[in-house]
Amino acid sequence: MFTVGDLRKALEGVPDNLEVKLSSDSGVDQPYPVVVQNAHRVKYELPDGKRFDDTGETGVDYFTIYANYAEESPEDEQADQALQELMDHFHGALDAIGKAEELLGGKE
């Protein structure tokens, strides 16, 4: 399983303006441009102790990076700007996580 910690380590020393590309041995290498559209944490609990039918869990907690086929050309200036803004927010979140860990002395 790839974790946020793995992602944080992978980003060490990487410049903020470096382009993000997806690659895979099984599917994202398509003849259409694929772009990262969103990155965020998904966390919630089902009400009243209910459980998911498929997993038996009472909630979920994971970090997702969402990508899809680009609707516009990768050269489109607006798409590039939106992706840059997303990455700026993402890096800001990683910085905040790092500072929180420092304040907590590395405790989770």
Residue 38 has pLDDT above 70, yes or no: yes
Q: Which residue has the higher pLDDT, 83 or 51?
A: 51
Residue 106 has pLDDT above 90, yes or no: no
For the segment 9-28, the average pLDDT, to the nearest whole number, is: 77
Q: What DSSP designation does 72 have?
A: S
Residue 96's Cβ-count burial label (10 Å; 0-12, 13-18, 19+) is: exposed
Segment (H or E) for 76: none
pTM, rounded to two decimals? 0.47
Domains of the chain: which residue ranges?
Answer: 4-103
Q: Which residue has the higher pLDDT, 107 or 12?
A: 12
Classified as helix, coil or strand, 5 is helix
Using a CB cutoff of 8 Å and minimum separation of 24, what contacts does 62-68 make? 63/4, 63/7, 63/39, 64/38, 64/39, 64/40, 65/36, 65/38, 65/39, 66/36, 66/37, 66/38, 66/39, 67/22, 67/28, 67/34, 67/35, 67/36, 67/37, 68/34, 68/35, 68/37
Q: Which residue has the higher pLDDT, 35 or 31?
A: 35
Dig out the tokens for 12 from the structure: 């060490």
Q: What is the pLDDT of residue 51?
A: 94
